[in-house]
A and B are shown apart, each in its own frame.
Chain A
Amino acid sequence: MAAEQTGSRARPGVPLIDGREKVTGKARYTADLERSGALVGRILRSPVSHGEIVRLDVSKARALDGVLAVATGEDCAIPYGVLPVAMNEYPLARERVRYRGEPIAAVAAIDAETAERALSLIEVTFNELPAYYTSGDARAPDAALLHMNKPGNLERQVHHEFGDWNRGFEEADLVREEKISCAEVNHGQIEPHACLAEYDPLTGRLTMQSVSQVIYYLHMMLARCLQMDESRIRVVKPFVGGGFGARVEVLNFEIITALLARAAQGTVFMQLSREECFLTHRARPQTDVSVKIGMRSDGRITACVCEVVQRGGAYAGYGVVTILYAGALLQGLYDIPAIKYDGYRVYTNLPPCGAMRGHGTVDTRHAFECLLDRMARELGLDPFAVRRANLLRAPARTLNGLMINSYGLPECLDSVERASGWRERKGRLPAGKGLGMACSHYVSGSAKPIHWTGEPHATVNVRLDFDGGLTALTGAADIGQGSSTIVAIAVAETLGVALERVRVIAADSAITPKDNGSYSSRVTFMVGNAAIDAAQKLKAILLEVAAQKLGAAPDNIEVAGETFRIGEGEQACLSFSDVVRAALVDRGPITVTGTFTCPEDAQGGRHKGGAVGSTMGFSYAAQVVEVSVDDATGLVSVDKVWSALDCGYAINPLAVEGQIQGAVWMGMGQALCEETRYLEGLPAHASFLEYRMPTIVESPPIEVQIVESHDPNGPFGAKEASEGALAGFPPALVNAIADAIGIDLNELPATPDRIMDALVQRRRKARLSRTPQATS
């Protein structure tokens, strides 16, 4: 079916089902939980970037009045990590520290003052080792190894070749290459990390409430590190104040707090400072991208060769997946006949990186889209034309085995070209103003879960009891993206009942079915499909009952507006509560289970690492950015953004719009001003004053066009909407800067100092080229 752009306009969408709690202050986040009597946890962190722990003496801290527990690396000898193949981190350092800020010891005390005093009494001495803060230094031949089993300090290298790229370059009319560097950025979710761990010594049970995006990972890692039976652990997610990938991996402070609670035989509350949140990190790594493209004079791409180096930090975390994503999603956006990718994930003595919105794909996409624009310019082609020359056709399978079932990119391009007035305005703006554009895409859930358990990829239970209330139970974590609202809509729509009849209980391991969690934009697609499946099963039961009562075949009954009816007329209908009462006779309260699983052929290519990037449906996005650049100060301001995203079908257009605006804006932060800075491993950015996220003053209007390509497998045809638009912003901005002042910037973010450097260099070059003429 052809994608359309108008459908969602007729459906305004609904507010979040938990929105009222948020606007009234009733929503309880982890730090708001009732915790009278809880001990306060604090963590001692390494003051050195790399060193052997020669001596660690906690005896004075332990002896301090009011201290109930002290934990060190001695208390947990089992490493943890998000990937089963790469668990190389201890919650508290053992023998060696590898970054400044790594946890060494922790205390639980009656109050914060006592806990902090106890930390100051801990004595620790190090034998310092050489430390590396750049990928280049860490990869130097004589560099000491951070991890003995990783020569060259390479966590993972990837070498993938698809198609004959040599021939592709031979067939090209133009071959160009760029080296582009992107700074490390951080999630910056506004809620600081916090957790509340309650250990009951009488039953040997542990209840953990935390800011997790994936309570199932947390559950597993707590059991692993504390050597507890999983059945004795309960993990609950209260309201969560944003994630963006920060809370997918289990974080050291969560395991540390559980260790303290068990040692203290009680309840421990831990809240990290903002500085500690930055140290905990797990965000987008500093990345160097070299990209080379071959292009025919009509804009058709003949080959692409790309090398990516990620400065990963001190531990594995998600690194293997991040470096695979950086190469895998070179594909799936355009039709490229040959691709070679080399990726290097490097260990350095900095806080570990991890997953952040657009996981692994953003910096590669940035480099690719910048180069594409520059080549178009050289060939005299319009940026839109060069993208249109390389479109895919759905259904398709990419060279690396990714499945494409719906593809709304052409409509996205048309839509933002029109909305931005591109054809009329491009090249006609006043001096210092410019327009730039770029495209991007993202997965609707990773088709292959990290843990291959054989279970369905998503499970939702729906309960129906005497009160006629529908309770949907899901393990998916609502972190503000509105996942619980999607589940409620899916159930209500399928059953033809009012949204208010549905209650969603999410992410409590004692109640809700296991879910793989909120990452890779999987929830709408997978959990949405599972919710529809559950609701359909319940609907079948209710139809059967209604059919009996109405004396008709179930197939002839329609359900809408909480009424079951055959044809027209008053006699021929039953209310929802009539049917519920009848359904419960003999059966009692009903619970149905709905599931969803991505089929084998959606799970990517057969090559090593081929599962990463695989998905049931890609979202597609195009955007146009309008900028003003002040060439006296180098300040770039974004005047307006037009963004179009193909989300398959907008189940809740209001939320889709909000997600796209948020993603575009987060891309803007990375492009314009956000970067972490370390001085010998010491973070110089670890506050919201130093880590510059755009405020409301610098944030432009973001006009959203929703494109609906009706994915054949998506819930109601839907795909993801939260990540796909992000990666297009940085290249669209840099392309707009080129349009405004003729500078091709090869570094992110586009801060005034970088713009000024480029302008000064250009002036110098111009002067030098004029000098010989002047003397002749």
Chain B
Amino acid sequence: MAACERQPGKRVLRVKLNGRWREDAVADNLLLVDYLRDVARLTGVKTGCDGGECGACTVLVDGDAVPSCLTLAIRCENRHVETVEGLAAQGRLSRLQQAFHQKLGTQCGFCTPGMIMAAEALLRRNPSPTENEIRAALSGNLCRCTGYVKIIESVKFAAEEHHGG
């Protein structure tokens, strides 16, 4: 039986991924980040650390920003998981994507998907955040290029655009 203990069980995971339901056989111990990257091939979800340190893997689960490297895939059963790939609809960048592009909130781009998803969760629950609220919402996402100045500008710009439009 020792060999069996090493083999985690598998089950069918039903999950709504970027608006579409799908089913996959996944191991009980499969992390959401590995499910998204390796099974669903959504490689916009990044891994930048050894677990829970950098925020690059941030996705939305039922609208909440979560680090997918600390989340089991099976915990997302019957829930809605959204990644950066789901934001641009009908060939148009989302307001945050457009802002990060236009305002240079992205340099190397590696932290960007996680950063945008964390900001997306913020703007959905708080469409006009203060600068401190933006800082608090993104405090789990590390960036090494920008010094965060243009990231804050990008989120503010997206919030203002939303109101303007």
Is the CB–CB distance between B139 and A662 below 8 Å?
no
Is the CB–CB distance between A697 and B136 below 8 Å?
yes
Residue of B83, B107, B111 with most chain A CB atoms under a 10 A cut-off: B107
* Known interface pairs A20-B93, A190-B56; A702-B135 also in contact (CB < 8 Å): no
Distance between A557 CB and nearest chain B CB, rounded to angstroms: 35
A661 in complex: contacting residue of B116, B136, B150, CB < 8 Å: B150
Is the CB–CB distance between B49 and A480 below 8 Å?
no
A88 on the interface (CB 8 Å rule)?
A: no
Is the CB–CB distance between B148 and A665 below 8 Å?
yes
The digit string for B99-143, where 1 denotes a CB below 8 A from any CB of A, is 011101011111111001000000000000000001110111111
Distance between A197 CB and nearest chain B CB, rounded to angstroms: 19
B109 in complex: contacting residue of A22, A654, A688, A695, CB < 8 Å: A22
B4 on the interface (CB 8 Å rule)?
A: no
A658 on the interface (CB 8 Å rule)?
A: yes
The digit string for B26-37, where 1 denotes a CB below 8 A from any CB of A, is 000000000001
B145 on the interface (CB 8 Å rule)?
A: yes
B88 on the interface (CB 8 Å rule)?
A: yes
The digit string for B50-71, where 1 denotes a CB below 8 A from any CB of A, is 1001101000000000000000
Chain A residue at minimum C-beta to C-beta distance from B83: A25
Cα separation A208 to B54 with both chains bound (whole Å):
27
Distance between B87 CB and nearest chain A CB, rounded to angstroms: 7
Residue of B50, B84, B147 with most chain A CB atoms under a 10 A cut-off: B147
Cα separation A142 to B94 with both chains bound (whole Å):
65
Cα separation A190 to B55 with both chains bound (whole Å):
10
Q: Which residues in B have their C-beta under 8 angstroms from that of A252? A: none
Cα separation A668 to B113 with both chains bound (whole Å):
25
Which B residues between 133 and 165 are near A, CB-CB below 8 angstroms?
134-136, 138-152
Cα separation A469 to B141 with both chains bound (whole Å):
39
A264 on the interface (CB 8 Å rule)?
A: no
Distance between A32 CB and nearest chain B CB, rounded to angstroms: 4
Cα separation A728 to B143 with both chains bound (whole Å):
21
B144 in complex: contacting residue of A244, A654, A657, CB < 8 Å: A244
Chain B residue at minimum C-beta to C-beta distance from A663: B147
A26 on the interface (CB 8 Å rule)?
A: yes
Which bracket fits the contact residues of A? 35 or more
Distance between B138 CB and nearest chain A CB, rounded to angstroms: 5
Chain A residue at minimum C-beta to C-beta distance from B44: A25
Q: Which residues in A have their C-beta under 8 angstroms from that of B144? A: 187-190, 242, 244, 666, 693
Residue of A23, A655, A657 with most chain B CB atoms under a 10 A cut-off: A23
Which bracket fits the contact residues of B? 35 or more
Distance between A507 CB and nearest chain B CB, rounded to angstroms: 14
Chain A residue at minimum C-beta to C-beta distance from B114: A190
Is the CB–CB distance between A192 and B47 below 8 Å?
yes
Q: Which residues in A have their C-beta under 8 angstroms from that of B109? A: 18-19, 21-23, 27, 239, 241, 480
Is the CB–CB distance between B142 and A31 below 8 Å?
no
* Known interface pairs A190-B111, A655-B104; A273-B50 also in contact (CB < 8 Å): yes
A240 on the interface (CB 8 Å rule)?
A: yes
Cα separation A654 to B151 with both chains bound (whole Å):
13
Q: Which residues in B have their C-beta under 8 angstroms from that of A699? A: 147-149
Which A residues between 1 and 30 are near B, CB-CB below 8 angstroms?
15-16, 18-29
Is the CB–CB distance between A662 and B110 below 8 Å?
no
Cα separation A697 to B45 with both chains bound (whole Å):
23
A679 on the interface (CB 8 Å rule)?
A: no
Is the CB–CB distance between A190 and B104 below 8 Å?
no
Cα separation A655 to B146 with both chains bound (whole Å):
10
* Known interface pairs A24-B85, A25-B84; A687-B112 also in contact (CB < 8 Å): no
B78 on the interface (CB 8 Å rule)?
A: no
8 contacts between A and B (CB under 8 A): A22-B106, A29-B46, A191-B108, A239-B109, A241-B111, A480-B145, A655-B104, A696-B141
7 further interface pairs, Cβ-Cβ under 8 Å (given A22-B101, A23-B106):
A23-B116, A24-B44, A24-B93, A190-B48, A693-B144, A695-B139, A696-B151
